[in-house]
């Protein structure tokens, strides 16, 4: 027993009554036992019994188990799936987690774990039919048994976890070396074995950790293309589980009586704000919903961390391509996905020049492509609008170029369609119009500050679009239209003989009637993330409405102080680069005074005082436009 540890040898020598035997002889003993089959009598029964998991493993049993596992791995080719069914069944019940807790008295646990994995690997390589069985055995170890979660909370928990998982992943790699096509089979097994959405948070989080380990591991090249899309699908699954559309129906009557809330009154009273949100949350969401949100939050954070590690390894672009495919396949067409899309946002934030620009261009292409169904195009342009508005890391140049493309498309559409207003028939057109207005609500000021971009903006044939018979201003979301016109007026766009062309629309107090039942139902996917942990990662890269410098603010200030802002677009970019945490799009104005992001979760919500927030009468642009949203915070 030269290969065994001295301590095990000692126990074994006692067991064998001082008779020393070598490995080869032992192997032949087990081989003969296997050849005799399940009808082979006591030897086989003893073998099966030895492999059965025991609650309290004595040193004698441990030594016997270790010896058996090692010898079996040398004679795996004699294991028959039919004859030795009970043996395989016992083997499948053995868990590495049982041997993970460190026991000072007997430290052969690590050897047993290694021997078990060696047997699994040998079994996988011995016959093709065992590959799936062995892969399933290993994947089963991604999540510990329920009792082991308690151990993981101990101070040695991390060590114990690493002890098991590092071995499991090494075994998977070893199988992939011996059976090159095994990773192709592993992918569906991993996806299929994913915990269901009802699973507890630690369980699902740990499983996803393993999936991400696989993705970034040595066999990630093969399985990576499956792991991330599966994770995104799981995020979507949890996302849609957090339903708030039902609540919306209750408030349907109020939808058209929207107003803009401002939380300024609560700036000095964070606790009050939080407590009120929580109360509302508890009133409107049951515990199940809350738990789902927490699970989703943890998984999104895990994905963010994975993206960061990918960036440090220089493989973010590769991962981004997979995410993008997954995004186009599932997230984009999910009806009002609330949080899953922030994975894309964060990936873009980590590589603004590459992924950030790429994402914007892909969305533009998707909108532009006639091959895509209208619903996909509308969704793409909604994502585009929200992304360009909220992404702090995008340059004004890029934003201006994309606005130009959208305006050109709308203009061409107007020329081809000389019809009256019809929201149903021209959904894509109205979506594009709303996107243009929404982006400009956020970006007009920064674009107007750069002379080159200002000229570009003025030259765009927007006026013709707004005045067209299709009448987009009466179909698009009222608050967006109102804010857009307000800023356009302040920026002196659409002026004719010193008069604002759309003054009648702006001052006629028609905002609540805009669109009426034909109002364009839209959503803005990158509204502030309501998941607490995820939000903290997004915060440095995210533009909040409260920090946006509007054109009317500045002009009002100019009139008051007669000292124009000298901030330029370049300054804006530099400023972002300097300190993302402290400044944002409007960082030069009142940065830090009312920074608490939670205070800026403004939204267009039904006109109701039930949240305890005072209605703001100044009519500011909402940062969180969510037609079907009444929830402010989940966590």
Partner 1 sequence: MEGLKVSKSNLVVYIHPSQSNQVSKAVLRELSTLLFTYDEIFDGVVLAYYVDSLDKCAKVLPGVYPYFGVNLKVNMLLFSPKPDMLLEGKVEKVTPEVIIVIVLGFATAIITEKDIRGEFKFTMKHGVFASKYHKRHVIKKGTMLRFSVKSFDEEQIYVYGSLVPDNTGNIQWLDKNLEVVSHTDRKIYRSTKKRENEGKPLRSDKDALELSTVDTPQKLKMSKKQKVREES
The binding site for partner 1 (CB under 8 A) comprises 18-22, 24-25, 27-28, 31-32, 35, 74-77, 122, 125-129, 131, 177-181, 184, 371
Name 626's bridge partners. 523
| Cα 629 to the center of its chain, rounded Å | 20
Rounded CA-CA distance 566/454 in Å is: 15
Rounded CA-CA distance 573/585 in Å is: 9
Instruction: Pick the closer one to partner 1 by CB: 35 or 257.
Output: 35
Instruction: Pick the closer one to partner 1 by CB: 19 or 287.
Output: 19
Instruction: Pick the closer one to partner 1 by CB: 175 or 323.
Output: 175
- What is the smallest separation between the CB atom of 370 and partner 1, expressed in angstroms? 9
SS3 per-residue string spanning 193-242: CCCCCCCCHHHHHHHHHHHHHHHHCCCHHHHHHHHHHHHHHHHHHHHHHC
- What is the smallest separation between the CB atom of 608 and partner 1, expressed in angstroms? 44
Name 496's bridge partners. 499
463-480 core/surface letters (b: 16 or more CB in 10 A; e: else): bebbebebbbbbbbbbbb
- Which pairs from 98-103 meet CB under 8 Å and 24+ separation? 98/53, 98/57, 99/57, 100/144, 100/148, 100/151, 100/160, 100/161, 100/163, 100/164, 101/151, 101/156, 101/160, 102/156, 102/159, 102/160
Q: Which helix (H) or strand (E) holds 187?
A: helix 182-192
Ordered alpha helix ranges (H), 220-372 = 220-241, 245-250, 270-284, 287-313, 316-326, 342-350, 357-368
- What is the smallest separation between the CB atom of 89 and partner 1, expressed in angstroms? 21
Instruction: Pick the closer one to partner 1 by CB: 117 or 567.
Output: 117
- What is the smallest separation between the CB atom of 178 and partner 1, expressed in angstroms? 5
Helices (H) and strands (E) in the chain, counts: 29, 5
Instruction: Pick the closer one to partner 1 by CB: 131 or 260.
Output: 131
- What is the smallest separation between the CB atom of 109 and partner 1, expressed in angstroms? 25
Instruction: Pick the closer one to partner 1 by CB: 29 or 244.
Output: 29
Dihedral sign from CA coordinates of 76, 77, 78, 80: positive
Name 500's bridge partners. 495
- What is the smallest separation between the CB atom of 32 and partner 1, expressed in angstroms? 8
DSSP code at position 550: P
- What is the smallest separation between the CB atom of 523 and partner 1, expressed in angstroms? 25
- What is the smallest separation between the CB atom of 327 and partner 1, expressed in angstroms? 18
| Closest alpha carbon to 493 in 571, 555, 559 | 555
Measure Cα distances from 5 to 8, 65, 119, 265 in Å: 5, 13, 18, 70
Instruction: Pick the closer one to partner 1 by CB: 371 or 416.
Output: 371
- What is the smallest separation between the CB atom of 128 and partner 1, expressed in angstroms? 2
Instruction: Pick the closer one to partner 1 by CB: 82 or 593.
Output: 82
Name 605's bridge partners. 259
- What is the smallest separation between the CB atom of 488 and partner 1, expressed in angstroms? 38
Instruction: Pick the closer one to partner 1 by CB: 177 or 245.
Output: 177
- What is the smallest separation between the CB atom of 73 and partner 1, expressed in angstroms? 9
Q: Which residue has the tokens 């066999």?
A: 219
- What is the smallest separation between the CB atom of 7 and partner 1, expressed in angstroms? 20
SS3 per-residue string spanning 59-117: HHHHHHHHHHHHHHHHCHHHCCCCCCHHHHHHHHHCCHHHHCCCCCCCCCHHHHHHHHH
Instruction: Pick the closer one to partner 1 by CB: 188 or 451.
Output: 188
Instruction: Pick the closer one to partner 1 by CB: 19 or 517.
Output: 19
Instruction: Pick the closer one to partner 1 by CB: 143 or 176.
Output: 176
Q: What is the Cα Rg of the chain in Å?
A: 31
Q: Which residue has the tokens 């589980």?
A: 241
């Amino acid at each position: 027993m030269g290969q065994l540890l001295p301590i095990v040898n000692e126990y074994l020598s006692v067991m064998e009554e001082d008779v020393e035997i070598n490995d080869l002889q032992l192997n032949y003993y087990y081989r003969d036992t296997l050849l005799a089959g399940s009808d082979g009598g006591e030897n086989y029964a003893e073998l099966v019994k030895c492999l059965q998991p025991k609650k309290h493993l004595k040193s004698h049993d441990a030594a016997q188990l270790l010896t058996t596992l090692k010898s079996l791995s040398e004679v795996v080719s004699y294991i028959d799936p039919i004859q030795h069914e009970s043996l395989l069944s016992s083997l499948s019940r053995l868990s590495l987690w049982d041997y993970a807790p460190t026991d000072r008295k007997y430290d052969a646990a690590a050897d047993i774990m290694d021997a078990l994995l060696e047997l699994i690997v040998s079994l996988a390589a011995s016959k093709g039919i065992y590959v799936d069985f062995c892969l399933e055995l290993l994947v089963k170890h991604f999540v510990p048994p329920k009792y082991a979660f308690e151990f993981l909370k101990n101070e040695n928990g991390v060590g114990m976890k690493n002890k098991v998982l590092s071995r499991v992943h090494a075994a998977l790699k070893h199988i992939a070396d011996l059976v090159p096509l095994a990773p192709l089979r592993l992918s569906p097994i991993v996806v299929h074995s994913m915990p269901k959405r009802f699973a507890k948070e630690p369980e699902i989080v740990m499983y996803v950790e393993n999936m991400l380990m696989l993705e970034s591991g040595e066999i990630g090249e093969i399985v990576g293309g499956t792991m991330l899309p599966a994770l995104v699908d799981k995020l979507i699954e949890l996302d849609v589980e957090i339903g708030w559309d039902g609540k919306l129906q209750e408030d349907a009557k109020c939808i058209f009586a929207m107003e803009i809330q401002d939380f300024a009154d609560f700036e000095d009273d964070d606790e009050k704000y939080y407590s009120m949100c929580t109360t509302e949350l508890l009133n409107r969401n049951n515990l199940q919903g809350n738990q789902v949100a927490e699970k989703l939050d943890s998984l999104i954070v895990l994905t963010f961390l994975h993206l960061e590690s990918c960036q440090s390894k220089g493989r973010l672009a590769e991962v981004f391509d997979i995410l993008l495919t997954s995004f186009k396949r599932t997230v984009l067409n999910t009806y009002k996905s609330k949080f899953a899309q922030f994975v894309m946002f964060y990936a873009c934030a980590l590589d603004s020049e590459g992924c950030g620009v790429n994402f914007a261009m892909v969305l533009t292409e998707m909108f532009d492509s006639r091959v895509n169904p209208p619903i996909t195009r509308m969704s793409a342009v909604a994502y585009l609008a929200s992304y360009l508005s909220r992404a702090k890391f995008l340059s004004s140049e890029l934003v201006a170029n994309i606005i130009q493309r959208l305006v050109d498309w709308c203009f061409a559409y107007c020329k081809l369609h000389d019809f009256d207003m019809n929201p149903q028939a021209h959904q894509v057109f109205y979506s594009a119009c709303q996107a243009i207005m929404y982006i400009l609500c956020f970006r007009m000021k920064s674009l107007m500050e750069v002379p080159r971009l200002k000229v570009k903006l003025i030259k765009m044939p927007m006026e013709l679009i707004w005045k067209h018979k299709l009448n987009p201003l009466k179909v698009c979301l009222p608050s967006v239209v109102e804010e857009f016109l307000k800023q356009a007026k302040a920026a002196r766009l659409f002026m004719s003989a010193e008069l604002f062309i759309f003054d009648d629309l702006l001052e006629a107090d028609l905002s609540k009637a805009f669109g009426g039942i034909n109002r364009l139902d839209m959503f803005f996917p990158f509204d502030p993330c309501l998941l607490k942990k995820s939000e903290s990662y997004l915060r440095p890269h995210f533009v909040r409405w409260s920090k946006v410098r509007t054109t009317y603010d500045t002009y009002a200030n100019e009139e008051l102080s007669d000292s124009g802002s000298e901030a330029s677009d370049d300054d804006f970019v530099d400023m972002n680069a300097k300190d993302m945490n402290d400044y944002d799009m409007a960082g030069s104005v009142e940065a830090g005074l009312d920074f608490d992001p939670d205070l800026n979760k403004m939204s267009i919500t039904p006109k109701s005082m039930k949240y305890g927030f005072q209605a703001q009468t100044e009519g500011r642009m909402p940062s969180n436009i969510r037609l079907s949203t009444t929830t402010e915070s989940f966590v």
